[in-house]
C-alpha cells in the first residue's frame, strides 16, 4: 500500500461573496408591502375560492418562504474509493462537493491495480484550498484509494505467442504449448483498454524450440498501454486418449471410457494421435487395459457378419427381391465387402454387409438366383 502523492492544489480559492444583512431586510420589507397591495387589489379571487396559495398565506409566511435560500447538502467524506484514472479528483473523495470544482484533481492515483492511502487531514487541506470547508469526516483518519485495473493473465499471452510460433514453425496453432521461464507474465491495463495481446520482436529457434518476444497491449507497437518481455519453450503437443477403464474385446467404446490428454509429440507413437483414430461406433478389437494409450489398431467397427457364419444373401432389382442362405467366408462390419459361398452351387460371390447377418449381393449373383428359381 502506498501513500498518494501531494495534492495538486495548495492555495485557497475565494468563494462568491454574500449580500449584507441590511440589504436583505430592506428587500424583504418591500416584498411584503407588494404582496399586501396585490392581495387587497384582488378580493374577488379570495371570495370565489380561486385565490393562489401565496395570497391565502399570512404576509410574514410569504416573505419567509420566498426569501429563504436553498441550502445545498453539506459536503461529506465518501470513505474508501476506487478510481480509474491517473489522478484523484475532489469529487472522488468528497460527496456533494460543489459541481464547479468536483472534477478538480487533488492527488495522484496509485499505480494500476495498487492501493494508496490519504490522511484525512491532508484531504481537508486540499478541499479548503479549493474553498470547501466543514467536510463531514465521520471520524475517519485516513481513506484508501484503489486504482482499478484489468489483469490479463499468462493464458492470453501464451495463446498469442502460440499463434506466432506456429506460423514461424509452420504448424497448427492448436499444437503449440507455451512454457514460460520463471513466473508466468501478466499485464495490467485500465478497465477501458479493449485491445488484445499482441506479440512483437519474436525470436524462435526450431532446433531448441526456445523463444524470446515482447507481449504488449495497445493500439500499436508505438503506443503500448502495458508490455512484458517473455521467454521460454514452445513445444509441439498432440491430443491422445488414455483408457479410463479396462475394456473387453468386442465391447463398445464410449466417450467416458477415455480421458483426453495433451502430450509432447515426440513422446507418443504416431498411431496414438486422437485426430487419427475413429472412435464413434467402434468396439475394442482386443482386450484393452486401463491407463494405456488408445491406438489406431485397438478399435474396429462392430462385426455384423462372422467368418463361416450363416448369412442372408439379398439381391434386389426393382420391385424384385431374392434371398438365399449362404456362408460368409470372411468377417465384416457395416459396409464391408465379404466373400459369401452359395450353398447350392458352391460358388463364391461378393456382397456388402448391410446389417447383422445380412449381405447384399450384386449383378453377378443375379444369374445364379435366376437359375435357382428355375
**Buried b or exposed e, range 116-133, using 16+ CB within 10 angstroms:** bebebebbbebbebbebe
Question: What is the average per-residue pLDDT within 317-328?
Answer: 87
How many CB atoms within 10 Å of residue 299? 21
User: What distance in Å separates the CA atoms of residue 373 and residue 362, rounded to the nearest whole number?
Assistant: 17
Provide, rounded to the nearest whole percent, the portion of the chain with pLDDT above 70.
78
Instruction: Say yes or no to pLDDT of 216 above 50.
Output: yes
Picking from 26, 25, 34, 131, the residue whose alpha carbon sits closest to that of residue 75 is 131
**Buried b or exposed e, range 78-91, using 16+ CB within 10 angstroms:** eeeeebeeebbbbb
pLDDT of residue 287: 94
Contact 234, 209 (CB under 8 A): yes
pLDDT of residue 292: 93
Provide, rounded to the nearest whole percent, the portion of the chain with pLDDT above 90.
53
Average pLDDT, the chain: 82
Write down the number of H helices and E strands in the chain. 8, 24
Instruction: Say yes or no to pLDDT of 222 above 50.
Output: yes
Q: What residue has cell string 458352391? A: 346
Picking from 213, 215, 226, 206, the residue whose alpha carbon sits closest to that of residue 155 is 215
pLDDT of residue 11: 39
pLDDT of residue 179: 95
Highest mean pLDDT pick, 165-169, 198-202, 254-258, 274-278: 198-202
Task: Determine which helix (DSSP H) or strand (DSSP E) holds 366, and give its type and residue range.
Answer: helix 366-373
Amino acid at each position: 500500500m502506498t501513500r498518494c502523492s501531494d495534492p495538486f492544489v495548495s492555495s485557497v480559492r475565494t468563494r462568491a461573496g454574500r449580500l449584507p444583512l441590511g440589504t436583505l431586510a430592506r428587500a424583504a420589507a418591500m416584498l411584503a408591502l407588494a404582496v399586501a397591495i396585490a392581495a387587497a387589489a384582488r378580493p374577488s379571487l379570495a371570495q370565489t375560492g380561486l385565490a393562489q396559495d401565496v395570497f391565502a398565506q399570512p404576509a410574514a409566511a410569504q416573505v419567509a418562504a420566498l426569501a429563504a435560500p436553498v441550502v445545498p447538502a453539506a459536503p461529506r467524506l465518501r470513505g474508501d474509493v476506487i478510481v480509474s484514472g491517473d489522478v484523484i479528483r475532489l469529487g472522488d473523495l468528497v460527496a456533494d462537493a460543489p459541481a464547479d470544482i468536483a472534477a478538480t484533481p487533488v492527488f495522484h492515483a496509485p499505480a494500476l491495480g495498487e492501493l494508496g492511502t490519504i490522511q484525512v487531514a491532508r484531504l481537508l487541506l486540499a478541499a479548503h484550498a479549493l474553498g470547501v470547508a466543514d467536510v463531514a469526516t465521520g471520524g475517519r483518519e485516513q481513506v484508501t484509494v484503489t486504482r482499478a485495473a484489468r489483469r490479463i493473465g499468462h493464458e492470453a499471452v501464451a495463446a498469442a505467442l502460440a499463434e506466432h510460433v506456429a506460423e514461424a514453425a509452420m504448424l497448427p496453432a492448436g499444437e503449440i504449448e507455451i512454457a514460460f521461464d520463471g513466473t508466468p507474465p501478466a499485464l495490467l491495463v485500465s478497465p477501458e483498454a479493449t485491445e488484445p495481446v499482441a506479440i512483437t520482436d519474436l525470436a524462435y529457434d526450431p532446433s531448441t524450440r526456445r523463444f524470446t518476444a515482447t507481449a504488449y497491449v495497445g493500439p500499436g507497437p508505438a503506443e503500448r498501454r502495458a508490455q512484458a518481455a517473455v521467454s521460454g519453450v514452445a513445444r509441439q503437443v498432440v491430443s491422445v486418449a488414455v483408457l479410463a477403464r479396462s475394456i473387453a474385446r468386442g465391447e463398445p467404446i464410449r466417450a467416458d471410457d477415455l480421458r483426453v490428454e495433451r502430450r509432447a509429440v515426440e513422446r507418443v507413437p504416431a498411431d496414438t494421435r486422437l485426430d487419427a483414430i475413429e472412435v464413434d461406433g467402434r468396439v475394442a478389437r482386443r482386450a484393452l487395459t486401463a491407463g494405456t494409450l488408445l491406438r489406431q489398431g485397438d478399435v474396429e467397427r462392430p462385426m455384423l457378419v462372422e467368418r463361416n457364419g450363416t448369412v442372408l444373401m439379398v439381391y434386389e432389382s426393382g420391385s424384385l427381391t431374392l434371398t438365399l442362405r449362404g456362408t460368409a467366408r470372411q468377417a465384416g462390419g457395416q459396409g464391408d465387402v465379404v466373400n459369401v459361398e452359395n450353398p447350392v452351387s458352391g460358388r463364391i460371390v461378393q456382397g456388402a454387409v448391410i446389417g447383422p447377418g445380412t449381405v447384399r449381393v450384386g449383378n453377378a449373383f443375379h444369374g445364379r438366383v435366376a437359375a435357382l428359381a428355375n
